Chain A
């Protein structure tokens, strides 16, 4: 069942987006959403590498109970760099700005996003923010943690807080621009016949993500402005000497930063939905429910931020309300996990690399999500707050979930991006190495946290050493898993087997056009006549 009225059988005369211009200018001044997606991909890979090096240094330091590799101050700067770069310069832009930019217009049958110039501008904003962050790092970095808590960040810290804060502020506008572009694109540029109930779930996820991007990021922006002003003028509204409340910063900061974690995970869930369908050759089970869950996560995610502040001085009443709401927000995520599992059931499963990553996602995200429920319970949080339990929890979601989903997405759409196929067995092995390395790195951290090892410390009591050594060993394996794709994907870009338009046999408009994608995506505007996962193997539509 084809989604096009008459698919062209002949060689498309339109050049691919890779061939339409070979100058530097044609890349740096491009308006093509696909090239902009690749610009983002290159940029986030760069920032990921720096943040990963910081993590490697931290893990090496933690091999021994004494602080012997770096000073306390240096360690503070390392975990801050790791957090800031990973959150704002890798995770948040990863699937939306890199893969989303590439895929969204093709998935809806459009030539480009609604505002191509804004799209290019958003990349430059991102780079400007990143450059400022780099400047801050090279100048010695920041030691406040990625959370910039006041009054330390606003008054007492002697590190380059302002440059880092302004860098993140600018990158935030890149996020807002991207979210705005996606919202308008999905509302206005869908091909004829592409109704909301025929949207692939990846688009539902990215739409929900875009809502969060535009509604949450501005609050982060003003919060960063406020700490910058406080540093510049020496006084500010978080200053206790004036009667200000440092906790107000936390309210404003977490109002953004909790929804931010849903910005980070929702796109990954979208990728998982797509790969589950393709590699089970079945529609996603419970399409409407999964779509609604994406929106529910986005909305409910705004109501739970106080669970980061249970022991900061927030009122107990507020703590109870936030705890309750945090239990609630787990429900739509759980619904998705059940739906994905049901999608696999009785499907014709083929263990291609994207599916391996997605299966890893489901397992690891579930563990991360369940431990999130533990943390949402007030008495448990009192015990494990600011310990490695929290660190393990969010790494299970961010790395075990999100990074795996990103890798899965990159592999899934790689033929469309590069026109090549990567070497399948190498990729599968890399995925498994990543999975093993990840678990060895982070599972011991749950135990460490429960036993009481605090986070952000580079020295610890002797009895924690074994678990720390295991964790570091895992990190080195994880590093191999991360590095391998750089090599085999890069190699495949030039020497890999050429891919046809649809190597996976997937539904979806992006697979009805050539690989690599043609410059303007489609020869003629496609017309959609069926639902999103119309696999011909006799399975019923949702």
Chain B
């Protein structure tokens, strides 16, 4: 199960990428491209960072399917909660 895992070089490269992405998001926050785009870029960068942490630091890349399913389940269920709740708010006053 943990027969494989990240090596030291992999960890350092991942860390460098994380810090680079942090710098990018800190800088991108000041780009005058409209609030919506700022938000989208910031979230995208956060998602990539999280994916790096999940797959390398938390070793999801080296795990079997069962663990990956449970890792995904939390996000999937949160998405259900968020999307259905949000669908109420964006449709209030919309149709009737």
Chain A residues with Cβ below 8 Å from B94 are 315, 317
Judge whether B30 is part of the interface by a CB distance below 8 angstroms.
no
Q: Which residues of chain B have C-beta atoms less than 8 A from A314's C-beta?
A: 88, 92
- Asked if B66 contacts A251 (CB within 8 A), the reply is no
Range class of the B interface residue count: 10 to 19
Give Cα A503 to B7, complex, Å: 58
Q: Is the CB of B66 within 8 A of A303?
A: no
B87 touches A317 (CB 8 A): yes
Q: Assess whether A318 is interfacial by the CB under 8 Å rule.
A: yes
A 294-328 to B, binary, CB cutoff 8 A, 1 in contact else 0: 00000000110110000000111110011000000
Instruction: Check A317 against B91 for contact (C-beta < 8 Å).
Output: yes
Q: Determine the residue in chain A with the shortest Cβ distance to B77.
A: A215
Q: Are B87 and A321 in contact (CB under 8 A)?
A: yes
Q: Are A302 and B77 in contact (CB under 8 A)?
A: yes
For the complex, is A219 an interface residue (Cβ under 8 Å from B)? yes
A255 proximal to B (CB < 8 A)? yes
Partner of B88, one of A187, A215, A302, A318: A318
Bound CA–CA A329/B92 (angstroms): 25
- Asked whether any CB of chain A lies closer than 8 Å to the CB of B85, the reply is yes
Measured CA separation A316–B80 after assembly (Å): 19
Q: Which residues of chain B are within 8 angstroms of A252 by Cβ–Cβ distance?
A: 85
Interface contact A219-B88, CB-CB below 8 Å: no
The proximity string for B residues 57-96 relative to A, scoring 1 for CB distances below 8 Å and 0 otherwise, is 0000000001000000110010011001101110111111
Evaluate contact between B95 and A315: CB separation under 8 angstroms. yes
Q: Quick check: A318 and B91 within 8 Å, CB to CB?
A: yes
Residue count of chain A within 8 Å CB distance of chain B: 19
A318 to B84, CA, bound (A): 8
With A215-B73, A316-B96, A317-B95 as known contacts, state yes or no: A187 contacts B84, CB within 8 Å: no
Q: Within the assembled complex, what's the spacing in Å between the Cα atoms of A321 and B66?
A: 32
Q: Are B84 and A303 in contact (CB under 8 A)?
A: yes
| Cα distance A316–B94 in the bound complex, in angstroms | 9
From known contacts A215-B73, A255-B81, A303-B80, infer whether A315 and B66 are also in contact, taking CB-CB under 8 Å: no
Q: In the bound complex, how far is the Cα of B92 from the Cα of A223, in angstroms?
A: 23
CA distance A317 to B93 in the complex (A): 10
- A248, B92: Cα distance in complex, Å: 13
Query: Which residues does chain A contribute within 8 Å of B88, judged by CB atoms?
Result: 247, 251, 306, 314-315, 318
Residue of B nearest to A255 (CB): B81
Instruction: Specify which of B66, B73, B96 is in contact with A187 (CB 8 Å cutoff).
Output: B66
The residue in chain B whose Cβ has the minimal distance to the Cβ of A319 is B88
The smallest C-beta distance from A166 to any residue of chain B, in angstroms, reads: 23
Interface hub of B80, B92, B95 (most chain A Cβ within 10 A):
B92
Bound Cα distance from A303 to B85, whole angstroms: 10
Chain A min CB distance to B77 (Å): 5
Interface centre among B66, B84, B92, by most chain A C-beta atoms within 10 angstroms, is B84
By beta carbon, the residue of chain B nearest A309 is: B88
> With A215-B73, A215-B77 in contact, do A306 and B95 touch (Cβ < 8 Å)?
no
Residues of A within 8 A of B74 (CB): 215
Roughly how many angstroms separate A423 CA and B10 CA in the complex, as a whole number? 68
Q: Within the assembled complex, what's the spacing in Å between the Cα atoms of A316 and B88?
A: 8
Q: Which residues of B contact A303 (CB under 8 A)?
A: 80, 84
For the complex, give the distance between the alpha carbons of A482 and B93 in Å.
49
Residues of chain B having any CB pair with chain A under 8 Å: 66, 73-74, 77, 80-81, 84-85, 87-89, 91-96
Complex A-B: 28 CB contacts under 8 Å: A187-B66, A219-B81, A251-B85, A251-B88, A255-B81, A302-B77, A302-B80, A303-B80, A303-B84, A305-B84, A306-B88, A314-B92, A315-B87, A315-B88, A315-B92, A315-B93, A315-B94, A316-B91, A316-B95, A316-B96, A317-B87, A317-B91, A317-B94, A317-B95, A318-B84, A318-B91, A321-B84, A321-B87
Tell me the A residues contacting B by CB distance below 8 Å: 187, 215, 219, 247-248, 251-252, 255, 302-303, 305-306, 314-318, 321-322
| New A-B pairs, 11, CB < 8 Å, besides A252-B85, A255-B85, A306-B84 | A215-B73, A215-B74, A302-B77, A315-B88, A315-B92, A315-B93, A316-B95, A317-B95, A318-B87, A321-B84, A322-B84
- By Cβ-Cβ distance, the 7 closest A-B pairs, closest first, are A317-B91, A318-B88, A315-B91, A315-B92, A251-B85, A316-B96, A215-B77
